[in-house]
Amino acid sequence: MKIVKTVSAIREEVRKIKAEGRSIGLVPTMGFLHEGHLSLIEAARAKHDVVMVSIFVNPLQFGPNEDFERYPRDLDRDERLARNGGVDILFCPGVEEMYPGETAMTIHVTKGIDVLCGASRPGHFDGVATVVMKLFQLTAPDEAFFGQKDAQQVAVIMNMVETFNVPVEIISCPTVREEDGLAKSSRNVYLTEEERQEAPFLYQALQKTAERAQAGERSREQLLQFLTGQLEGGSGAIDYVDVLTYPALEQQEKLAGRIIFAVAYHYTHARLIDNIIIEIEGEEA
Amino acid sequence: MKIVKTVSAIREEVRKIKAEGRSIGLVPTMGFLHEGHLSLIEAARAKHDVVMVSIFVNPLQFGPNEDFERYPRDLDRDERLARNGGVDILFCPGVEEMYPGETAMTIHVTKGIDVLCGASRPGHFDGVATVVMKLFQLTAPDEAFFGQKDAQQVAVIMNMVETFNVPVEIISCPTVREEDGLAKSSRNVYLTEEERQEAPFLYQALQKTAERAQAGERSREQLLQFLTGQLEGGSGAIDYVDVLTYPALEQQEKLAGRIIFAVAYHYTHARLIDNIIIEIEGEEA
């Protein structure tokens, strides 16, 4: 596995790969790799000649009161996991390498960001879109692999690729979970023991709500109320719960089509997100 | 010469060219080609295996009270000129092809746009950056050729390429002029006969001002005043005159380094721009 830290070096690697006509699968991450990331690497491995993983904790997508500084980092461990996962190139540039000067422009997302994490984290998806655009330009992947846990991120990046005609396919992979159902996340390490015990109730609440919908309940209002009820009594605080069309992320009073049930929940030192996406039969509004 | 009108067809052309290892030089235009464009085509021809010209009057870069609707168009003539100029591929998509859906995001330019055309035309460079990003993604050129007449545009696009690590070299080519010095522009056709007679005085004013600077005048204030004075008595109206560093486009009271002298001038049915860029000896501030 090659470890590449500079813009000029990754360009040179990409140039060589392209000259040989080999395909590239990219897994963009913020590091502190877990089995969710490993499943993305596996998916990329299965389809591409060259698997690249990027590790970059992107300051642009963190708000001033968010956890950029204390976001977990362990590059040695990440290197080991990536190597074992069959990664060919690990691209881990520093902040100075990615943002060397004053920012001259950003991508400003205007659609599908007034809900979920977009509403809770103003500017977050501008930062995500900007850094993913940079990573795509630098690594020129044929496909890029993202986890469905960050469902709104996937929607924004699909929009970005379409808006700017970026020649990259976006592949959304299923959320990987702990045995008790908790979605794998780099931030899980910040849960207290009690919080870790309790946290699977987020997924259980989503499951029960999705089951209600599949059993025939079509009212967004009713399902939202039910989901909220399931989360009462938890030791943390709800950031948001929502039931929306996917990937458009629009409200629909009588649900039909592809629907996301989503939650964000604040624990003492970690904000967790999770979601379930299902197909609901019926005529779309 | 191939004429390509769709996103899918241009992608297929680019795929074939890349597979053969051939280089691409792109000349992005809004059509109504003149000798300025032809000089860009010639520059691209001299360096690249394949020359592409795009023709797209981009609605996103026109303000609500600007001349999008009546911007001059003549695709038959453009095709003939491009063919005679040795263009290999003419890419001329319709608005629906370039903007098929609701805009989900734009590039928002934050630096170097509070002056010159950026100040006169709010949002203009967001539209320019967005469409040029799309064109670069679609045509994957090794180099793209722009005219220095649109000096701020060149600066913004250089910034864009740097900000998003777009793998395209930006080449700025000298402004092509009529025999009397008037900068070639698609909008010159909208000048009345009298205006056309008078218009070369814009370039003369820029020349005289640049000569003053080269003769030793270093005060931005003095040169601005002199330039403004040169334009008095014209039958139109000054939109702006300015003297700035280039390409940063910053004010510098005692001039040194690369300096742009720029003017925008309103005639009855056309707004003309022109500039001169010179190197001024001395210590930069």
Question: How close, in Å, is residue A168 to chain B by CA atoms?
Answer: 10
pLDDT tens for A234-246 read 999 999 999 999 9
pLDDT of residue B285: 53
Percent above pLDDT 90 for chain B: 95
Average pLDDT over every residue of A263-272: 97
- Take residue B218 and report the two structure tokens written for it: 């270093």
Distance in angstroms (rounded) separating the CA atoms of residues A3 and A31: 14
| Chain B contact present for A108, CB below 8 A | yes
pLDDT of residue A143: 98
DSSP string across A141-167? -SEEEEEGGGHHHHHHHHHHHHHTT-S
On chain A, the residues whose CB falls within 8 A of the CB of B106 are: 107-108, 110
pLDDT of residue A194: 97
> Is B137 within 8 Å of A166 when comparing Cβ atoms?
yes
- Take residue A246 and report the two structure tokens written for it: 């996917």
> Is A129 within 8 Å of B105 when comparing Cβ atoms?
yes
In the predicted structure, residue B52 carries a pLDDT above the cut 80: yes
CA nearest B104 in A: which residue?
A111
CA nearest B138 in A: which residue?
A165
Distance in angstroms (rounded) separating the CA atoms of residues B261 and B206: 6
Distance in angstroms (rounded) separating the CA atoms of residues B95 and A171: 28
3-state DSSP call for residue A278?
strand
User: Is residue A146 a contact partner of residue A154, using CB atoms and an 8 Å limit?
Assistant: yes
| Chain B contact present for A225, CB below 8 A | no
pLDDT of residue B242: 97
pLDDT tens for B73-95 read 999 999 999 999 999 999 999 99
β-partners of residue B265 are B238, B272
DSSP 8-state code for residue B170: E
User: Of B187, B272, B283, whose CA–CA distance to B235 is shortest?
Assistant: B272
Please, what is the average pLDDT of chain A?
96
- Take residue A227 and report the two structure tokens written for it: 């989901």
Per-residue pLDDT band at A35 (split at 50, 70, 90): very high
A142 is in an annotated binding site: no
pLDDT of residue A74: 96
| Chain B contact present for A11, CB below 8 A | yes
Distance in angstroms (rounded) separating the CA atoms of residues A245 and B102: 17
The residues near B285 (Cβ < 8 Å, ≥ 6 apart) are B252, B253, B254, B256
pLDDT of residue A282: 79
DSSP 8-state code for residue B7: H
Distance in angstroms (rounded) separating the CA atoms of residues B158 and B160: 5
Question: How close, in Å, is residue B58 to chain A by CA atoms?
Answer: 14
Distance in angstroms (rounded) separating the CA atoms of residues B160 and B98: 19
Average pLDDT over every residue of B184-194: 96
User: Of A104, A87, A109, whose CA–CA distance to A42 is shortest?
Assistant: A87
On chain B, the residues whose CB falls within 8 A of the CB of A164 are: 130, 133-134, 137
| Chain B contact present for A159, CB below 8 A | yes
Distance in angstroms (rounded) separating the CA atoms of residues B121 and B170: 23
**Any idea what the Cα angle at residue A174 is, between residues A171 and A178, rounded to 5°?**
145
As a whole number of Å, the CA-based R_g of chain A is 19
CA nearest A133 in B: which residue?
B164
pLDDT tens for A127-168 read 999 999 999 999 999 999 999 999 999 999 999 999 999 999
ipTM for this model:
0.93
The residues near B222 (Cβ < 8 Å, ≥ 6 apart) are none
User: Is residue B112 a contact partner of residue B156, using CB atoms and an 8 Å limit?
Assistant: yes
pLDDT of residue B90: 98
Distance in angstroms (rounded) separating the CA atoms of residues A284 and B206: 62
On chain A, the residues whose CB falls within 8 A of the CB of B130 are: 164
In the predicted structure, residue A281 carries a pLDDT above the cut 90: no
pLDDT of residue A106: 94
Per-residue pLDDT band at B189 (split at 50, 70, 90): very high
Q: How far does CA B244 lie from the centroid of its chain?
A: 17
> Is A163 within 8 Å of B138 when comparing Cβ atoms?
no
Average pLDDT over every residue of B106-131: 95
pLDDT of residue A285: 53
B200 upstream amide cis, omega within 30 of 0: no
Task: Quickly count: other Cβ atoms within 10 Å of residue B92's Cβ.
Answer: 19
Per-residue pLDDT band at A102 (split at 50, 70, 90): confident
Question: How close, in Å, is residue B242 to chain A by CA atoms?
Answer: 21
Q: Compare CB distances from A109 to B104, B109, B129 and report the shortest one's residue.
A: B104
Per-residue pLDDT band at B204 (split at 50, 70, 90): very high
Per-residue pLDDT band at B209 (split at 50, 70, 90): very high
Per-residue pLDDT band at A202 (split at 50, 70, 90): very high
Domains in chain A (CATH in brackets) are 2-173 (3.40.50.620), 186-279 (3.30.1300.10)
On chain B, the residues whose CB falls within 8 A of the CB of A107 are: 105-108
Per-residue pLDDT band at A273 (split at 50, 70, 90): very high
> Is B105 within 8 Å of A107 when comparing Cβ atoms?
yes
The 3-state DSSP composition of chain B as helix, strand, coil percent (nearest 5) reads 40, 25, 35
> Is B108 within 8 Å of A111 when comparing Cβ atoms?
no
In the predicted structure, residue A283 carries a pLDDT above the cut 80: no
Burial string for B53-90 (b: 16+ CB within 10 Å, else e) reads bbbbbbebbbeeeeeeeebeeeeeebbebbeebebbbb
Question: How close, in Å, is residue B120 to chain A by CA atoms?
Answer: 19
pLDDT of residue A284: 60
Look at the block and give the residue holding tokens 């055309």. B117
Percent above pLDDT 90 for chain A: 95
In the predicted structure, residue A199 carries a pLDDT above the cut 60: yes
Please, what is the average pLDDT of chain B?
96
- A-B C-beta contacts closer than 8 Å: 85
> Is B133 within 8 Å of A164 when comparing Cβ atoms?
yes
CA nearest B6 in A: which residue?
A165
